[in-house]
Amino acid sequence: MITNRQWRLRRRPEPGEIPGTGHFDFAVEAGPKAGAGQVLVRTLVLGTSPAQRGYISTSRSMHDKVPVGGVMRGRGVGVVVDSHHDAFAPGDLLTASLGWQDYAVITPTAESMSIMNIARLTRPVKPSSLHLGLLGGAGATAYFGLLDVGLAKPGETVVISAAAGGIGSLTGQIAKIAGCRVVGICGSDEKCTWITRDLKFDAAINYRTQDIDARLRELCPGGVDVYFDNVGGDTLNTVLDHLARRARVVICGWISTDYASGPQTGPANYKNLLRQRARMEGFYIFDYLARWGDAESRLREWYEAGRIDPCEDLDDGLEKMPETLASLFKGTNKGVKMNRVAPDPE
Ligand SMILES: NC(=O)c1ccc[n+]([C@@H]2O[C@H](COP(=O)([O-])OP(=O)(O)OC[C@H]3O[C@@H](n4cnc5c(N)ncnc54)[C@H](OP(=O)(O)O)[C@@H]3O)[C@@H](O)[C@H]2O)c1
């Protein structure tokens, strides 16, 4: 008889309120059983994404809402413990939406078996967390955003916001591998030191203590060729004023304005796109499923050659999961934030 610990949504955070322990209930119940065509999975690692705030907030979001009382939705890596499905055997590793719980029952179908839904890991690596971070959504978003949308080329200047976050820290390293000059914007001196000293970014700007406009004038006298934007808002507006001729602005996310209360304003400096014949383009990683393998192979190659640090920031224990998610909005994470729920199998 197994027991299943779960985090269930108690109440929705109001606009401006960071989700935390008070919004969830920690429940313990009898573990689930897999029926015909189903697979029972033990959660090993859970990932985080700013989008999860949208799953539970009162604001409009492009994602389906988790119902009050429902298990919090979240993607993870798990190991199969019981299978009634031909494609899975006990011991197989997979990634899927497992939820914030120890055990999940999944129902693989022809439609649901894909890299961003239910995916058996055919070349598993250790630690398994790599399949959520560098070799998962964070790595693929950094890779396609920078190289496919941003078209970063050797010798160009790349600026990245939330540069010490999951996607930002990987994007900066990929830009260095691509031969670019890289400037990161992030929220503490400690993060600035980390990205320049350990990740080899060329320069860093602490947006909380420094004037981004003045620092960009100093650090990017020839202008910014690629701006990879994770935060939107005032930072986006300021960087728009520093674009080089034919620059590319990659809209990956807008965490600074996502769940703020009150009206949202657009970037007044968008006019510089015309002056500099520049381009601003949003992208969504789900549009890259067909080419996912390209990113995974290149990232795996760089990882095995010691050219890229996976920048994992792991909490330990399912009971910490609300705080694990909150760290993205408090800015206390460094790298790809995840939670280790159970040890990897031998
Ligand atoms: N386009 C896509 O397909 C796609 C896919 C996944 C994620 N995303 C987006 O990519 C971005 C990065 O996601 P991630 O998972 O890697 O998260 P992350 O960057 O690891 O975590 C969030 C970071 O954002 C910064 N931040 C938080 N609140 C902020 C604020 N009010 N103003 C400025 N910075 C703030 C914090 O760093 P500081 O200390 O520097 O403030 C924090 O560490 C997010 O915008 C996310 O929505 C896009």
Is residue 186 within 6 Å of ligand 1 at its C-beta? Answer: yes
- Please report whether residue 305 resides in a domain: no
Residue nearest to atom 28 of ligand 1 (CA): 329
Q: So what's the pLDDT on residue 168?
A: 98
Residues contacting residue 327 through CB under 8 Å, at least 6 positions apart: 48, 313, 315, 333, 337
C-alpha 257 to ligand 1 mean position (Å)? 11
d(CA 296, CA 241): 34
Shared domain for 150 and 269, answered yes or no, is: yes
Question: Which residue's CA is minimally distant from atom 18 of ligand 1?
Answer: 165
Whether residue 164 is found in the same domain as residue 261: yes
Range of the structural domain that residue 271 is part of: 138-285
**Using one digit for the tens of pLDDT, what is the confidence trace for 290-337?**
999 999 999 999 999 999 999 999 999 999 999 999 999 999 999 999
pLDDT score at 263: 75
Amino acid (one-letter) located at 192: C
Cβ 49 under 6 angstroms from ligand 1: yes
pLDDT digits (tens, 9 = 90+) for 244-255: 999 999 999 999
Structure confidence at residue 185 (pLDDT)? 98
Residue type, 178: A
Q: Among the atoms of ligand 1, which is closest to the Cα of residue 286?
A: 3
294 in a structural domain: no
Secondary structure letter of residue 20 according to DSSP: -
| CA 255 to centroid of ligand 1, rounded, Å | 5
Distances (CA, A) of 311 to 164, 168, 303, 317: 9, 10, 11, 19
Whether residue 39 sits in one domain with residue 164: no
Do 163 and 272 sit in the same domain of this protein? yes
CATH number of the domain where residue 157 is located:
3.40.50.720
Residues 143 and 127 reside in one and the same domain:
no
Percent of the chain with pLDDT over 70: 100
Give residue 107 CA to ligand 1 midpoint distance, Å.
31
Phi, psi of 60 (to 5 degrees): -65, 145
Looking at the structure of the chain, the number of domains it has is: 2
* Ligand 1 centroid distance, CA of 285 (Å): 15
The per-residue pLDDT for 146 is 98
Atom of ligand 1 nearest to the CA of 185: 40
**pLDDT of amino acid 115:** 86
SS3 214: helix
Determine the pLDDT at residue 59. 82
Q: Measured from the CB, is residue 165 less than 6 Å from ligand 1? A: yes
Whether residues 186 and 243 fall in one domain? yes
Mode of pairing for the β-strands spanning 93-97 and 103-106: unpaired
Instruction: For residues 121 and 198, state if they share a domain.
Output: no
**For the chain, which ranges sit under pLDDT 50?**
none
| CA distance readout (Å), 340 to 45, 158, 314 | 5, 33, 6
In a domain, 298, yes or no: no
- pLDDT recorded at residue 258: 80
- For ligand 1, say whether the CB of 171 is within 6 Å of any of its atoms: no
What pLDDT is stored for residue 294 in this prediction? 97
Strand 75-83 relative to strand 93-97, pairing: antiparallel
Q: Is the CB of 116 under 6 A from ligand 1?
A: no
Write out the two tokens for 206.
């602490």
Atom of ligand 1 nearest to the CA of 50: 47
Q: What are phi and psi of 281, to 5 degrees?
A: -140, 130
Condensed to tens digits (0 to 9), the pLDDT of residues 172-202 reads 999 999 999 999 999 999 999 999 999 999 9
- With a CB cutoff of 8 Å and minimum separation 6, the contacts of 299 are 134, 135, 139, 140, 143, 308
Distance 258 CA to ligand 1 centre (A): 10
CATH number of the domain that residue 44 is part of: 3.90.180.10
Tell me, in angstroms, the distance from the centre of ligand 1 to residue 35's CA.
39
Residues 31 and 142 in one domain: no
170 lines ligand 1 (CB under 6 A): no
Q: What is the largest CA-CA distance in the chain?
A: 67
Looking at the fold, whether 163 and 81 belong to one and the same domain comes out as: no
pTM above 0.95, yes or no: yes
Counting ligand 1 atoms within 8 A of each CB, the residue from 230, 283, 315 with the most, and so the one to mutate, is 230
Instruction: Name 29's bridge partners.
Output: 4
